[in-house]
């Protein structure tokens, strides 16, 4: 049985608990992507991030993405969690965990899920820079 889950959270992410829930006895591979606030972007020093979301649509859209990606690969579970609010340097903003019998489809599914969430999910990121520069909302406008 495949299973797909997505939720937002307000505090620190726990990727390990997703991994424990992801694995089935027929799975030989668990691939995890954790996105972390880093201290730079396009050559500028970043001191922090904050996320907000159009939550209802984002949940529906991400679950649709997981079902589509899961339908295209021999994977078991795809579990995703995204943090909202401020995320300090070094803390996780997203965790994507995919379990599968074999590792190839697990890698492919994690990459596709990440690429599509970035392009399609209405989640907004504000970057705070060092040196007194104005904070900026970053990213690209999605297409129909």
Residues that bind other proteins (CB under 8 A): 35, 51-54, 56-58, 60-61, 82, 93-94, 114, 117-126, 137-144
- What length does the chain have? 144
Q: Which does 12 bind (CB under 5 to 8 A by kind): a copy of itself, other proteins, none?
A: none
CB–CB of 99/76 below 8 Å? yes
Torsion of CA 124, 121, 99, 1, to 10 degrees: 140
Cβ proximity to a copy of itself, 10 vs 26, nearer residue: 26
Cβ proximity to a copy of itself, 107 vs 124, nearer residue: 107
What are phi and psi for residue 75, nearest 5 degrees? -125, 160
- Using CB under 8 A as the binding rule, whether residue 80 contacts a copy of itself is answered as no
Q: Which does 51 bind (CB under 5 to 8 A by kind): a copy of itself, other proteins, none?
A: other proteins
CB–CB of 123/137 below 8 Å? no
């Amino acid at each position: 049985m495949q299973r797909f889950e997505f939720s937002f959270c307000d505090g620190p992410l726990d990727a390990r608990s997703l991994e424990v829930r992801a694995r089935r006895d027929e799975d030989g591979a668990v691939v995890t992507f954790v996105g972390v606030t880093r201290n730079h972007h396009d050559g500028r020093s970043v001191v922090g991030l904050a996320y907000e979301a159009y939550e209802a649509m984002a949940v529906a859209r991400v679950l649709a993405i997981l079902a589509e990606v899961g339908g295209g690969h021999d994977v078991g579970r795809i579990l995703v969690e995204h943090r909202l609010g401020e995320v300090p340097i070094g803390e996780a903003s997203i965790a994507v965990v995919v379990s599968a019998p074999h590792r190839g489809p697990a890698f492919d599914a994690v990459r596709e899920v990440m690429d599509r969430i970035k392009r399609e999910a209405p989640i907004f990121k504000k970057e705070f820079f060092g040196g007194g520069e104005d904070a900026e909302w970053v990213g690209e406008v999605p297409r129909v």
